[in-house]
Amino acid sequence: MGAGGQRVACPLSVALGDPELRRIGVAIRRRRITADRGREFLEQLATLNFKIDRPPLVVDFPRLHSLALTYRLTAYDAAYLDLAKRLSLPLATNDGDLRKAARGEHLEVV
């Protein structure tokens, strides 16, 4: 459960290649943050206890492609949108295009 008891989920592709996680490593290497601060962030992230979804199957590709084309989304954003739809979860994002797509799919946006 996430903060406030909310269910939190992310696509496997996002968990494995999360840009935020990569940025932490870069920030540490470039001495923008300390290794301790990076570890603190990752420890805090771990407390969210989020569910990592299964990797997409080949049979999922047409559905993901359709979402990406319909709403002009990246594959990354289409994976989030698809996950929220499949698990009937609200979508948490500040991205305007993704918010619009979620509303187009009748999803709650937080």
Look at residue 23 and tell me if it is in a domain: yes
* Domain assignment of residue 57, yes or no: yes
For the chain, state the CA radius of gyration. Answer: 15
- Tens of pLDDT along 13-32? 555 556 666 777 778 888 88
Provide DSSP, 25-59: HHHHHTTSS-HHHHHHHHHHHHTT-PEEPPPPPGG
Residue 14 within any structural domain of the chain = yes
Residues contacting residue 7 through CB under 8 Å, at least 6 positions apart: 1, 51, 87, 89
- Which domain does 34 fall in, by range? 3-104
Number of domains in the chain: 1
In a domain, 97, yes or no: yes
Query: What's the whole-model pTM score?
Result: 0.65
Residue 60 lies in a domain: yes
CATH number of the domain bearing residue 91 = 3.40.50.1010
Nearest to 9 by CA among 51, 49, 44, 45: 51
Q: What angle do CA 103, 1, 37 make, to 5 degrees?
A: 100
In a domain, 109, yes or no: no
Look-up: residue for tokens 């996002």? Answer: 14
The pLDDT tens digits of the residues spanning 65-108 come to 999 999 999 988 998 899 899 989 898 888 999 999 999 999 99
* Residue 110 domain-assigned (yes or no): no
20, part of any domain: yes
